[in-house]
A = this chain, B = another copy of it.
Amino acid sequence: MTVSDIGEAGLLERVFPRLPESRVTLLGPGDDAALVAVRGGRVVATTDVLVEGRHFRQDWSSPRDVGRKAAAQNLADVAAMGGIGTALLIGLALPGDTETAWVDAFYDGLREECELVGAGVVGGDLVRTDHGITIAVTALGSMRGREPVTRSGAKPGDVVAIAGRVGWSAAGLAVLSRGFRTPRALVDAHRFPVVPYAAGPAAADLGATAMCDVSDGLVADLRAIAVASGVSIEITTDVLEVTPQMRDAATALGVDPVRWLLDGGEDHALIASFPAGTELPAPWLTLGRVVRGRGVYVDGQPSSDQGFDHFR
């Protein structure tokens, strides 16, 4: 039996029971990030691995893009807990023939993204590989006294809202996959996301009951909240914008742009549930509500989306 046979969920089922626990584990695996007790405090921690050819392609993304994306997807995980990224550790496996200019530009991109939240790079490891580039980023973050917002606190009656873009990265990927390099805004969105970092801590302050970032797809990540919280989520798509560029690209490619909105990942928007009646300031937009039951309903229809499986 191989990891492809059982897929990501099957793999996690086998791995989780094997993981050692520690009394410093305030919040362990399974959410966007962990919360670790330290003497006198606590720290948010999360890690992500990017593999060349699967998570980025050198012919589509510049090294600066890859650096920004590598930092962004980890800093987004910290924001999705209601925290602020403070420190990154970068593990980098490089083929021996990697151009030093690639490495320079990668770290330049990493720094640009870190500067958006004031995070530093505090450590790392550089090793040689005989294969493609593999990047492992760990982000540490601060809750600044806030309680972490997990995926499991959504309650029937809550409103569901979104901050940030969806569908842009998926549209950009579709365009690139067909050999086009425009519309530029969509292609750029695939190269690295524009993450609404401040909306994470703001959501925590507004009393968010559950939150995560959209990394696998809007419906897939809403489902993650619904499953973790034991609730159903109903959304309508009218609040989600199909931009003119997205509509043009979809027409040119002969696809339905709404699928990009619902199934596209990697834009790292934040989605959260809030108690009914919460006044939501920009950039939060109300998307739907939490009800009793199971599953995710889109415009009244049950969604059968299964999300992105990293092993299938």
Tell me which of B25, B49, B138 contacts A93 (CB under 8 A).
B49
Interface residue A66 (Cβ < 8 Å from any Cβ of B) = no
Tell me the minimal C-beta distance from A15 to chain B in angstroms: 6
Known: A20-B114, A97-B4, A138-B89. A11 touches B126 (CB 8 A): yes
Tell me the minimal C-beta distance from A105 to chain B in angstroms: 9
Bound Cα distance from A2 to B1, whole angstroms = 40
With CB as the reference atom, state the residue of chain B lying closest to A132.
Answer: B131
Binds B, one of A29-37, A163-171, A286-294: A29-37
Neighbouring B residues of A138 by C-beta, 8 Å: 45, 47, 89, 91, 136, 138
User: By the criterion CB–CB under 8 Å, are A46 and B14 in contact?
Assistant: no
Interface residue A54 (Cβ < 8 Å from any Cβ of B) = yes
User: By the criterion CB–CB under 8 Å, are A100 and B1 in contact?
Assistant: yes
User: By the criterion CB–CB under 8 Å, are A128 and B39 in contact?
Assistant: no
Known: A19-B111, A89-B45, A120-B24. A103 touches B134 (CB 8 A): no
Bound Cα distance from A25 to B142, whole angstroms = 13
Counting chain B CB atoms within 10 Å of each CB, which of A29, A33, A50 scores highest?
A29
Residues of A in contact with B, size category: 35 or more
Write the A158-182 contact mask toward B (1 if CB under 8 angstroms, else 0). 0000000000000000000000000
Bound Cα distance from A92 to B310, whole angstroms = 12
Interface residue A110 (Cβ < 8 Å from any Cβ of B) = yes
Interface residue A51 (Cβ < 8 Å from any Cβ of B) = yes
Neighbouring B residues of A51 by C-beta, 8 Å: 93, 127-131, 134
Neighbouring B residues of A194 by C-beta, 8 Å: none
Bound Cα distance from A119 to B24, whole angstroms = 8
Neighbouring B residues of A115 by C-beta, 8 Å: 20
User: By the criterion CB–CB under 8 Å, are B111 and A144 in contact?
Assistant: no
Tell me the minimal C-beta distance from A138 to chain B in angstroms: 4
User: By the criterion CB–CB under 8 Å, are B119 and A22 in contact?
Assistant: yes
Tell me the minimal C-beta distance from A30 to chain B in angstroms: 9
Bound Cα distance from A20 to B86, whole angstroms = 11
With CB as the reference atom, state the residue of chain B lying closest to A53.
Answer: B130
User: By the criterion CB–CB under 8 Å, are B15 and A126 in contact?
Assistant: yes
Bound Cα distance from A118 to B110, whole angstroms = 33
Known: A18-B111, A87-B36, A91-B47. A310 touches B126 (CB 8 A): yes
Tell me which of B29, B48, B127, B140 contacts A43 (CB under 8 A).
B140
User: By the criterion CB–CB under 8 Å, are B39 and A144 in contact?
Assistant: yes
With CB as the reference atom, state the residue of chain B lying closest to A309.
Answer: B128
Name the interface residues of A41-93: CB closer than 8 Å to any CB of B: 41-43, 45-51, 53-55, 86-87, 89-93
Interface residue A254 (Cβ < 8 Å from any Cβ of B) = no
User: By the criterion CB–CB under 8 Å, are B11 and A103 in contact?
Assistant: yes
17 A–B pairs (Cβ distance < 8 Å), ordered by A: A3-B103, A5-B100, A12-B126, A19-B120, A22-B86, A22-B87, A22-B118, A34-B87, A36-B86, A39-B41, A39-B145, A41-B42, A47-B89, A91-B91, A91-B136, A96-B311, A140-B140
